[in-house]
Chain A
Amino acid sequence: MTINAHPELPEFDYIRPATLEEASRFLSDHAGEARPLLGGTDIFVRMRDGFWHDKYLVDVKNLDGTDNLHFHPTAGLTIGAGVNMNRVMTMLEVQQYYPVLAEACRSVASYQLRTRATIVGNLCNASPAGDTIGACMLYDGVLKVHGVDGYRDEPLKTFFLGPGKTVLKPGDIATAIQLPRPPAGSTGTYIKLGRNTWSDLSIVGVTALGSREPASASGYSFHVALASVAPVPLEVPAVHSYLSENNITPEAFIEAARLAQQACNPIDDVRGSARYRKAMVKKLTEKALLITLDRLEGRE
């Protein structure tokens, strides 16, 4: 936010194309001055604050299946770009097979904001603080992208380049996020430390996902992703390897948490200092792993 935010949105043209092809073409023809519009909850704030000055907003919410939310027993979950977070988190299959995603959605802002906010928008906005990004990464999410040359897939692991920066090019429209079906019994948690109990942006966010994994030495597979502590949403592979190779004990979780702490690289900002953030990564990673284990063992 800036100190001289405008009283209203600046002038722009609202474009509603009839097809994705048309939308991609328009966005590509107006590179640098057009932007795809989903829920708008970030775009409007940034435009009013004067950070973004696009001449065109291209509404892609109701095009060619972007409004679909669908679970397939083998293929997994497809969340269209226009599907809002409340719809995702209340879907039974999401609660059953992707509980961490539902938990992450619930932590975002307020109910009325989530009526507009979308998961795909959260991903494309590429904020290091994005609450649902960690879950989408750990569930091996792949974005379906429509560009001037048609469809392609973009795995999330290689999607983020920096704060607000992704591999998307002019003309690209992320139309859906696809999450393969996770291993049976997998579960986890999203711990968000904000200034308020609910509704805040994260000072630190920790996503943990675990499952039984007979092939690993420990018999388990754990994955951790961190929010708000690096220029990009951060998955920590070291945690996964350590907890695959070592016996699952409280001490092992402490060591894994230390590895997560090592991997992060936070900054000082109005929401928190780097020192506090680093300390919280350790505390909350340990806690997230403990909760995940409890849930795996059916203790919760």
Chain B
Amino acid sequence: MAQHAITLTINGEWEQVVVPSQMTLLQMLREKLARTGTKNGCMAGECGACTVLLNGEPVNSCMVLAVECDGMHIVTVEGLMQDGVLDPVQHTIIEHGGVQCGFCTPGILISARALIDRNPDPSEDEIREALVGNLCRCTGYLRIVDAVKDAAALSRQAATL
């Protein structure tokens, strides 16, 4: 079983990890580094609970090998909050009541953040389309979509300040 020493940043901090070839990024985060905010929902790239940012782009971390991430930058749900201040997507999802059991929430927040980063003023349909890879069983999605719309507006405001 080949082991690989890799170096990468997680939420801005450098980490050195030794991983076997077949270890996924998700497993590395959860099992090796005990960063359990990212959830394991299906291991098949379908549910989106494990979504993280890889060099700024959202990926299903169950569909990426840890070894492939050597030298890359990872952001997980734990990295959204800056200096104790919630990211707008975190703030608005609470405000809109878009959290129930909370298992899909980390992945939803990462997808939402990524959407706003690439499209600062998304329409309702664009938000819905950007979230189809994040299954939620509790909320029925409507409050999440509204929250993302508000978070985009908040993010735009913050950018112009």
A-side interface residues toward B, CB under 8 Å? 1, 5, 7-14, 39-41, 44-45, 48, 57, 59, 86, 109-113, 115-116, 196-199
Please determine whether B21 and A196 come into contact, CB atoms closer than 8 angstroms: no
Answer whether A14 and B132 are a contact pair too, CB < 8 Å, given A112-B48, A116-B59. Answer: no
Count A/B pairs, Cβ under 8 Å: 85
B-side interface residues toward A, CB under 8 Å? 1-2, 4, 20-24, 27, 43-45, 48, 51, 54, 57-60, 62-65, 67-68, 111, 114-115, 129-130, 132-134
Complex contacts, A44 vs chain B, CB 8 Å? 24, 45, 62-63
When C-beta atoms are compared, the residue in chain B nearest to A16 turns out to be B67
Q: How far does the Cβ of B74 sit from chain A's closest Cβ, in whole Å?
A: 13
Please determine whether B133 and A48 come into contact, CB atoms closer than 8 angstroms: no
Please determine whether B44 and A45 come into contact, CB atoms closer than 8 angstroms: yes
For the complex, what is the distance from the CA of A199 to the CA of B128, rounded to whole Å? 11
Q: How far does the Cβ of B72 sit from chain A's closest Cβ, in whole Å?
A: 12
Please determine whether A109 and B43 come into contact, CB atoms closer than 8 angstroms: no
Please determine whether A14 and B48 come into contact, CB atoms closer than 8 angstroms: no
Please determine whether A116 and B60 come into contact, CB atoms closer than 8 angstroms: yes
Q: Can you name 13 A-B pairs with beta carbons within 8 Å? A: A9-B23, A13-B1, A13-B21, A14-B2, A14-B21, A40-B65, A59-B68, A109-B133, A110-B134, A111-B132, A115-B59, A116-B63, A197-B132
Partner of B43, one of A48, A57, A59, A116: A48
Answer whether A115 and B45 are a contact pair too, CB < 8 Å, given A14-B65, A110-B133, A198-B132. Answer: no
Please determine whether A112 and B60 come into contact, CB atoms closer than 8 angstroms: yes
Partner of A196, one of B45, B48, B68, B132: B132
Please determine whether B64 and A116 come into contact, CB atoms closer than 8 angstroms: yes
For the complex, what is the distance from the CA of A109 to the CA of B63, rounded to whole Å? 13
Partner of B133, one of A1, A7, A45, A112: A112
Complex contacts, B134 vs chain A, CB 8 Å? 110
When C-beta atoms are compared, the residue in chain A nearest to B57 turns out to be A115
For the complex, what is the distance from the CA of A5 to the CA of B42, rounded to whole Å? 11
Please determine whether B22 and A112 come into contact, CB atoms closer than 8 angstroms: no
Please determine whether B132 and A115 come into contact, CB atoms closer than 8 angstroms: no
Complex contacts, A45 vs chain B, CB 8 Å? 44-45
Complex contacts, B1 vs chain A, CB 8 Å? 11, 13
Answer whether A112 and B59 are a contact pair too, CB < 8 Å, given A198-B129, A199-B132. Answer: yes
For the complex, what is the distance from the CA of A157 to the CA of B21, rounded to whole Å? 36
For the complex, what is the distance from the CA of A9 to the CA of B24, rounded to whole Å? 8
Complex contacts, A115 vs chain B, CB 8 Å? 54, 57-59
Complex contacts, A110 vs chain B, CB 8 Å? 48, 132-134
Residue in A57, A59, A112, A198 with the greatest tally of chain B CB atoms within 10 Å: A112
For the complex, what is the distance from the CA of A45 to the CA of B2, rounded to whole Å? 21
Please determine whether B58 and A112 come into contact, CB atoms closer than 8 angstroms: yes
Please determine whether B133 and A12 come into contact, CB atoms closer than 8 angstroms: no
Please determine whether A12 and B132 come into contact, CB atoms closer than 8 angstroms: no
For the complex, what is the distance from the CA of A5 to the CA of B45, rounded to whole Å? 14
Answer whether A13 and B45 are a contact pair too, CB < 8 Å, given A116-B59, A116-B64. Answer: no
